[in-house]
A and B are shown apart, each in its own frame.
Chain A
Amino acid sequence: MRPLSADRWLPKLVLSPTLLASLIFVYGFILITIAMSFTESRMLPNWEWAGIDRYVDLFDNDRFWVSAKNLAIFGSLFIVISMAVGLFLAILLDQKIRGEGFLRAIYLYPMALSFIVTGTAWKWMLNPGLGLERIVQQWGFADFTFDWLVNPDKAIYTVVIAGVWQSAGFAMALFLAGLRGVDSEIIKAAQVDGATLPTIYRRIIIPSLRPVFFSVALILAHIAIKSFDLVMALTGGGPGTASDVPAIFMYQFSFSRGQLGVGAASAVMMLMTIMAVMVPLMYAEAKSGNAR
């Protein structure tokens, strides 16, 4: 018999609450939500089996499709623009800029704010009566109109504007860290070979940032799919339901409209969406990581 010294079981004991929490509150709850999406639950959980009825309800609901379409618009624009602006700023900042630290701090501060604050601020600025529209009119363009916030066809784009404002600095910070990690000898070698600066960026540096592109895209996609607070504060999903996103749909059906089953089904769809985005990205990243 070997006497168990404390150091054998202490690490396991220390980890056990976290393990338990993860098993119950993450994996267990996901299973419960999935189970609930197959039941007759309405105001209260009702464990009567309903097959795929809740998913049929979900897919028959125009509002769900509006929210899915909005997520597609918002997600793709938000990711692409944030990355483009972030990469552009990072490259500019990489040119031995005086006051780089200060500029970086300014670009990044929106990340410290709550999406609710961001939404509140942009809601005021994009306000058609007193906001941007009026400034431009005051500057002499009397016919200028900018009513996206209250225009059902355009409201989701205001979410893109505010989202990019908040997250572009974040993309910049990650890209800049990536740029600084590029081996300076490779750049010197390229210079000796006679490459111009734009060529060096296009052919050597940016391709070597592949893993950074992956992680930036991953995180921005994650923010986009979970986006709830920004839309709540900026448009509230309105006008009407014009700027609904799945997170709002889920919240409304689960907690305001007493449709727990449909809410659960929409949550499961969100999980599937995240997995559909994450798994291939992470797989591709892991594969290229192994190849390196």
Chain B
Amino acid sequence: MNAVSRFFLYAILLLAALYALAPLWVMLATSFKSLDEIREGSLIAAPQAPTIAAWGKAWSRACTGVRCDGLQPFFINSLLMTIPAVLISTIIGALNGYALTHWKFRGSEVLFTMLLLGCFIPFQVVLLPMARTLGAIGFVDSVFGLIFVHVVYGLAFTTLFFRNYYIGVPGELIKAARVDGAGFFTIFWRILMPISMPIFMVCVIWQFTQIWNDFLFGVVFAGSDSQPVTVALNNLVRTSTGVKEYNVDMAAAIIAALPTLLVYIVAGKYFVRGLTAGAVKG
């Protein structure tokens, strides 16, 4: 390839990178501007007089509907919901994947196919019965309801991740351990767990991103005090009390995006692996 086409190649790739980064830059720049500067200046210009006032307001004072405590309480809700839901669904998924690959029994393949189809349904088709069920067992208006829902509908994916990983573990390893005298849980704990760290990372990160970013379950099943941060962000942006404060909106958006962005920066490798693994499912 000659130098000219090489130049165009890099030019196109860099332009695409700029395009991908532009919204993040605009969000960041806007969040550090004052409302006056936003009105006077350009969308993409760097803040002339950076101020963190918008961030403070977004975190603790902005109105999200009737409440005006900022995103803080909802951010905590999201943490309280996401962490247990991720851990529970991952652990159950790991055990399921292990049982489905190395302890097959009559019907285990059918069971797996059945679970797999659960990955494809639009959640709208379960919303109405689930809303009534959560109401009936008193889980509505609490983070427990959301934890429950995320675990139930996350299991298909976590099982899939671990099943696809454990299918690559040679069956002879399990046989050797059984001859050595190990049982179901001993083999899982002593033989498989130590070699499962990569898939645990993939699964935890995938689930974290999915659950943290969820909006549908949050908006349908959460009460006003148990809403996750995505719902609160949407309310914050929609709540207008006089002047539209774009800087506060943007600061709030970044706050809501921060945990998943951090995970992406720290463990992007696993995130990508999860995406591609989820993609080649079936």
Asked if A and B are interacting partners, one says yes
Q: B interface, by DSSP: helix, strand, loop or mixed?
A: helix
A-facing residues in B224-247 (Cβ within 8 Å): 230, 233-234, 237-238, 246
The residue among A14, A165, A271, A274 with the most chain B CB atoms within 10 A of its own CB is A14
Stretch at the interface among A53-61, A201-209, A247-255: A247-255
Can you list 24 A-B contacts with CB-CB less than 8 angstroms, sorted by A residue number? A6-B183, A11-B184, A12-B105, A14-B98, A15-B100, A18-B155, A19-B111, A26-B156, A33-B126, A45-B128, A97-B13, A104-B272, A106-B17, A106-B20, A113-B261, A116-B213, A121-B250, A130-B39, A131-B43, A165-B19, A226-B122, A267-B122, A270-B124, A270-B125
Q: Is the CB–CB distance between A174 and B276 below 8 Å?
A: yes
- The distance in angstroms between the C-alpha atoms of A95 and B1, with both chains bound, is 9
Contact residues, B85-105 vs A (CB, 8 A): 92, 95-96, 98-100, 103, 105
Bitwise interface map of A from 121 to 165 toward B, beta carbon under 8 Å scored 1, else 0: 111110100111011001000000000000000000000000001
Q: Does A239 contact B (CB under 8 A)?
A: no
Q: B118 contacts the other chain (Cβ, under 8 Å)?
A: yes
Contacts of B20 in A (CB 8 A): 106-107, 109-110, 165, 169
Residues on A with beta carbons closer than 8 Å to the beta carbon of B99? 11-12, 14-15
The chain A residue sitting closest to B210, CB to CB, is A114
Chain B residues near A116: list those with CB within 8 A: 213, 215, 230, 233-234, 253, 256
**Shortest distance in angstroms between A88's beta carbon and chain B's nearest beta carbon?**
8
Given contacts A26-B118, A173-B272, contact A250 B124 (CB under 8 A): yes
Instruction: List chain B residues, Cβ under 8 A from A233.
Output: 215, 234, 237
Specify which chain A residues have a CB less than 8 angstroms from the CB of B161 in the assembled complex.
none
Q: Tell me whether A7 and B103 are in contact in the complex, defined as CB-CB below 8 angstroms, given that A92-B9, A229-B215 are known contacts.
A: yes
B152 & A124 in contact (Cβ 8 Å cutoff): no
Q: Cα distance A63–B94 when bound, in Å? A: 44
Cβ–Cβ contact B26 & A33, under 8 A = no
Complex partner residue of B257 from A30, A113, A177, CB under 8 angstroms: A113
A182-215: CB near B (< 8 Å → 1, else 0) gives 0000000000000001000000000000000001
Option from B114, B125, B233, B253 in Cβ contact (under 8 Å) with A267:
B125
Q: Contact check, A30 vs B121: say whether CB atoms are below 8 A apart.
A: yes
State whether the Cβ of A232 lies closer than 8 Å to any Cβ in chain B. Answer: yes
Most buried by A among B20, B156, B234, B238: B20
A78 proximal to B (CB < 8 A):
no
Would you call B165 an interface residue if the criterion is a C-beta within 8 Å of the partner chain's C-beta atoms? no
Whether the pair A22, B1 counts as a contact (CB closer than 8 A) is: no
Interface size, B (range): 35 or more
Name the contact of B120 in the complex, choosing from A122, A222, A228 (C-beta under 8 A): A222
Which residues of chain B are within 8 angstroms of A83 by Cβ–Cβ distance?
none
Number of A-B contacts (CB under 8 A): 251
Chain B residues, Cβ within 8 Å of A250:
124, 127
**A93 and B125 within 8 A (CB):** no
With most chain B CB atoms within 10 A of its CB, the pick from A33, A112, A131, A247 is A112
Residues of chain A having any CB pair with chain B under 8 Å: 6-7, 10-12, 14-15, 17-19, 21-22, 25-30, 32-33, 36, 45, 89, 92-93, 95, 97, 103-118, 120-125, 127, 130-132, 134-135, 138, 165, 169-170, 173-174, 177, 197, 215-216, 219, 222, 225-226, 228-229, 232-233, 236, 246-247, 250-251, 254-255, 260, 263-264, 266-268, 270-271, 274, 278, 282
Chain B: which residue is nearest A26 at the CB level? B118
A123 to chain B, nearest CB (A): 7
B16 cross-chain contacts in A, Cβ below 8 A? 89, 103, 107
Say yes or no: A29 contacts B129, CB within 8 Å: yes
CB distance from A93 to the nearest CB of B (A): 7
Query: Among the listed A17, A22, A110, A270, which residue makes an inter-chain contact with B118, where contact means beta carbons less than 8 Å apart?
Result: A22
The interface residues of chain A lying within 8 Å CB-to-CB of B237 are 120, 123, 233
Q: Which residues of B contact A10 (CB under 8 A)?
A: 103, 183-185
Roughly how many angstroms separate A255 CA and B222 CA in the complex, as a whole number? 13
Q: Judge if B72 is at the interface, Cβ distance under 8 Å.
A: no
With A105-B268, A109-B261, A138-B42 as given contacts, are A130 and B125 in contact (CB-CB < 8 Å)?
Answer: no
Partner of B13, one of A89, A110, A197: A89
Give the shortest distance, in Å, between B260 (CB) and chain A (any CB). 5
Least CB distance, A227 to chain B, in whole angstroms: 10
Q: Which residues of A contact B12 (CB under 8 A)?
A: 92
Distance (Å) between the CB of A111 and the closest chain B CB? Answer: 7
- B141 → chain A closest CB, angstroms: 14
Rounded to whole angstroms, the CA-CA distance of A144 and B184 in the bound complex is 68
The answer to whether B261 and A254 have CB atoms under 8 Å apart is no
Interfacial chain B residues near A236, Cβ < 8 Å: 238
List of A residues within 8 angstroms of B250 by Cβ: 120-121, 124
Q: Of residues 175 to 231 in B, which have CB atoms within 8 Å of A's CB atoms?
A: 178, 183-185, 209, 212-216, 219-220, 230
B181 CB to closest chain A CB, in angstroms?
A: 12
Q: Which residues of A contact B30 (CB under 8 A)?
A: 124
Give me the 4 closest cross-chain CB pairs, A-B, nearest first. A11-B103, A114-B213, A229-B215, A112-B264
